[in-house]
Amino acid sequence: MRDLNYQLKRLCHRNRDGSYATQAKRMHHLMLIANQLHALGFRAMSDHSLKPKHVEALVKEWLAQALSVGTIKNRVAVLRWWALKVDKQNVVARSNDHYGIPDRKFVTNLSKAKAVSALELEKIRDPYVRMSLELQQAFGLRREEAIKFNPNYADRGDHITLKASWTKGGKARDVPLRTDEQREVLNRARQLAASGSLIPSDRNYVQQLRAYERHTANAGLSKMHGLRHAYAQRRYEELTGWKAPAAGGPVTKALSPGQKVLDRHARQIISQELGHEREQITSIYLGK
């Protein structure tokens, strides 16, 4: 292993910011970045060697590879994390515009909503994986949140509370419990998990994640993130009274001034329930 790869691994081990998934993705990006720096001719680097020329060379290479804007921005965010941890934050420009990275396009009116039927759930042989899928569908949870979910802790009567250690970005949040169907799913989750989480006692998170991936693949299920899209679109219709643009409803430009106020309010609520900080990201789920 090259020195830079080794030192960046050590840097990650000393700074465990965010959820396990966030840490794993950061490590993956940093190993890729270290390999790319070596391939670009920057040899004998250490974790304190990062300079503006390295960042500019990397971004130029990523733009040349025609990577998605989201991927490039995620990698630059990892570079900022690296620079911050070695007290060289000024090495990476604060604005992505400095590197000629275009704006990310969030708006899409093509629905990615997905539902899992009872028949499809029956194909999932692991009861913990099956329950995680049901929670994703009922509450719009991310996969990691649904795997780490502890029903005994989360169930607060009229809402569920997600621990910071379960969530992307490490921020706790509440999701309302609105329907009888949600209550029924939550009760069954409590019965299955007892006082623990939806990770069996003989497994850790990574092992259960692999089980989730294996069982969903064997059942012919993919793109389970679409369950969050479906949740967001259901909530939008509940809150506004009309379907989201991605679900065939009117586009924002066609709304009356009063409807636009209601649209913004609904998007803010849905953004919070999904665990996002910006209302703009709801356009990915709802269209615009």
pLDDT tens sequence across 13-47: 999 988 888 899 999 999 999 999 999 999 989 99
Backbone angles phi, psi at 102, to 5 degrees: -70, 165
In the predicted model, what is the mean pLDDT of the chain? 93
Q: What is the pLDDT of residue 76?
A: 96
Burial of 145 per CB tally in 10 Å (0-12, 13-18, 19+): buried
Q: What is the pLDDT of residue 46?
A: 95
Q: How confident is the model at residue 123 (pLDDT cuts 50, 70, 90)?
A: very high
pLDDT over 90 (residue 147): yes
pLDDT tens sequence across 265-281: 999 999 999 999 788 88
Collapse the DSSP code of 237 into the 3-class scheme (helix H, G, I; strand E, B; otherwise coil) and give the result: helix
pLDDT over 70 (residue 108): no
pLDDT over 70 (residue 105): no
Question: Alpha-carbon distance 79 to 61, whole Å?
Answer: 14
Please give the single-letter amino acid code of residue 15.
Answer: N
HEC sequence for 73-112: HHHHHHHHHHHHHCCCHHHCCCCHHHHCCCCCCCCCCCCC
Please give the single-letter amino acid code of residue 206.
Answer: V
Global pTM reads 0.70
Residue 284 corresponds to which tokens in the numbers above? 């990915």
Q: What is the pLDDT of residue 273?
A: 97
Q: Which among 130, 54, 135, 133 has a CA at the least distance from the CA of 99?
A: 54
Q: What is the pLDDT of residue 107?
A: 57
Q: How confident is the model at residue 102 (pLDDT cuts 50, 70, 90)?
A: confident
